[in-house]
Amino acid sequence: MTASNSNQHRHRAPSHMIFWQAKLSTCCFSRAGLSSARLLVSHGVDVVVLEAVDRVGGRTLTVHPPDDDPSVPKFGWADLGASYVGPSQNHILRLCKELGLGTYLCSDKQDFIHYSKGRQFCYQTTWPNLWWSNPLAYLEVVYMCRLMDNMSKEIPLDKPWKAPRAKEWDKLTVQDFLSRHCWTKDGVEFLLALCSNNNTADGHEMSLLYYLWYMCQGGGLLQPLECERRRPGTQNRGWLTTERVHLNQPVVKINYSTKGVCVQTLDGTEFTGTHLILALPPPLQMKIHFDPPLSSHRYGLLQRSPMGLVLKCIIFFNHPFWAEKGYNGLVTCNDDIEVVGLAAEDFKPGVQLAGMICFMYGDQALRMANKTEEERKKKVCQTLSNFFKTHAALKPVHYMDKIWSQDTYVGGGYTCYYPPGVLSKYGPAIRESIGGCIFLAGSETALQWTGYMSGAVEAGERAAREVLYSCGKISSSDVYVEEPEFVEVPIQPLEQSLLEQFIPSIGEDDRPILLGVDNTLVLHVLPSGKGSVFNSNAVQSLHPYICNELRHRRWETFWIESQTNPADVYSKLALQRLLTEEAETANEFDTTTIPTSRFDLLLLAADSSRPLRLSLLGPSLLLLCTKVRCESIKAAVGGVATNRSPDRWSPSLLYSAEALVKNEEGPKDSPKQREETRASFGAHFFIEE
């Protein structure tokens, strides 16, 4: 990849040099290299910026309508790369003000839309309104986000590999974690879609430790949802004078030593200097030949840092049909059939045309990247038509898109991500300088807002201060500077209802799950992977459908007689009290006899002649069976859990307690009955052949 010596030209560059080859990503865009150069220039240092292509901006890309093509409508401008800023993104907000780049508010009035499984759900709250479609999924999503937010607070921003549970979390993918802790399919699908929207990679690809660290850098899992300002024309050339920037100079070789750095570009041109700042994503650094070679830790990190997959398109209409229907244009989607994961309005001040920005992530982007632009346009229009329930979306006046994974000097977006095992092993190499003369910028090295423009600016300025410290111009305490809050865009506290703040868990870690079938059988399962069955008689087997479901959740089950395990006192004493003759003959079971607060899922069976009174404030989900003997078990469960009448449940769920204990085969369901039951209950814990 090195250039031919016959075409070499050697340039004596200033004593400090910025290599700004390939930019940051679709939402973190290469402000890093220019930020470094700008700060160094302000300290009287001469710099050279090397840019691989014919423009600056990296993963920011601003497009204007051509003046000589009347067929293209006057849409003002379109940002096919990074364009959003918001509260707590203080570095980019401060820089926008310094450069005179304005922002304008995105609409947050009217209704938001969440689209799932062909259905449209409208809401004006923090969370998509999953309650009416699946209340269990709603409980689960809100709780899991709160749980992951709390987990992320254990992670040091500068050294995530030092977190107390770093190795444990780095062994899991996000999907592994959700599968182990979530009960509802809808909840898992929503959380995985949220993961893809944030990281442009699928949940089975990225480490849980990385995801928690990434979200913590942005203020928590909920904070990115609050980004509400957009800057017009994010690709801007007014950062530096043109003589400092060399376009079309992709770097292919870097020689470095204690005496300085020599950079060679593709056409053989060489630039020399005493210091170098690399401001490009880790995967693209693999395209450069380093002499001497990089350390094993550095190469290990670069080899294991894939870029995300994202395709961004903007489609223009003569009028904002979504606003006319009462929507603000923001749509989240976790429907595999549709091609758009996130859509948002792009109705700019002073521009007559109404635009809609659409993002495709992960598998969506991969599928659509191989189609023609016209095919992508039709697919996007049809998806918007489904989102907003109108044919007006099928009549665009202009369409454009950018497939970032096909850009040679970007490679994807928004940013790179780390699969399991990478961050805990190779993480220290993320910001570690090379040879004392090469310093690392780029959004991937930021401490806050990695993957965003603000992170790029922070990383670029930090790398510049490392150079200044290396030259003795500043002290070590001035390298990492905390950015003050940008007072003009204050951080707004996230408003959550009392339910959202204190919503219980459906699958909280380290809490047992208690399933009771009849007054003779209790199944006690620990989420850590251990389980036991307490029965006054030695139970030989459990219903196979329940066992299969537990195995699906990676929980093991085993059977013991109650008297053989006296260690489980905390639950066993309560069960013994519940199963005594005194309790059975009582008119009511006293709530205090069962430590319901210790359990997440409580399923109790009681004869219909004896009323059962238990507090819903104890377990997260209380399922009651009121007619056990030769009657419906799951029917009454459904009546409580989803407010459905018992006659709505399918035949296979109408087993007696005796049949469950004896492992007798019950009646079969038709496919239609199974689907109706699944739709009603909406949870993974679903008995099926």
Q: What is the pLDDT of residue 2?
A: 27
| 427 CB-near residues (< 8 Å, 6+ apart) | 159, 160, 161, 301
Residue 51 marked in a binding site: yes
Token pair belonging to 480: 């990492």
- Flag whether pLDDT at 20 surpasses 60: no
Residue 209 is inside which H or E element, if any? helix 208-217
pLDDT tens digits, residue range 600-656? 333 333 333 333 333 222 332 333 332 222 233 333 333 233 323 333 333 333 333
pLDDT tens digits, residue range 289-346? 999 999 999 999 999 999 999 999 999 999 999 998 989 888 999 888 899 999 999 8
Domains and CATH numbers, the chain: 5-63+231-294+434-478 (3.50.50.60), 110-126+309-409 (3.90.660.10), 129-221 (1.10.405.10), 513-681 (no CATH)
Which of the residue ranges 40-54, 77-91, 102-116 would you say has the lowest mean pLDDT? 102-116
| The residue type at 268 | G
pLDDT tens digits, residue range 671-689? 665 555 444 433 323 222 2
Residue 359 marked in a binding site: yes
According to DSSP, residue 160 is labeled: G
| The residue type at 559 | W
Q: What is the pLDDT of residue 42?
A: 85
Residue 62 binned pLDDT confidence (cut-offs 50, 70, 90): confident
Residue 52 marked in a binding site: yes
521 and 616 Cβ atoms separated by less than 8 Å: no
What's the rounded Cα separation, in Å, for the pair 532 and 560? Answer: 6
Q: Taking residues 514-519, what's their average pLDDT? A: 35
According to DSSP, residue 236 is labeled: -
Q: What is the pLDDT of residue 399?
A: 96
- Flag whether pLDDT at 470 surpasses 60: yes
What's the rounded Cα separation, in Å, for the pair 360 and 403? Answer: 10
Closest CA to 450 of 675, 193, 210: 210
Kindly give the interhelix angle for 185-199 and 174-181, rounded to the nearest 10 degrees. 160
Closest CA to 150 of 139, 163, 134, 137: 163
> What is the SS3 assignment for 319?
coil
Residue 444 marked in a binding site: yes
Task: Give this prediction's pTM.
Answer: 0.72
pLDDT tens digits, residue range 396-447? 999 999 999 999 889 998 999 999 999 999 999 999 999 999 999 989 999 9
Q: How far apart are the first and last CA of the chain?
A: 59
Instruction: Write down the H helix ranges in 389-452.
Output: 423-426
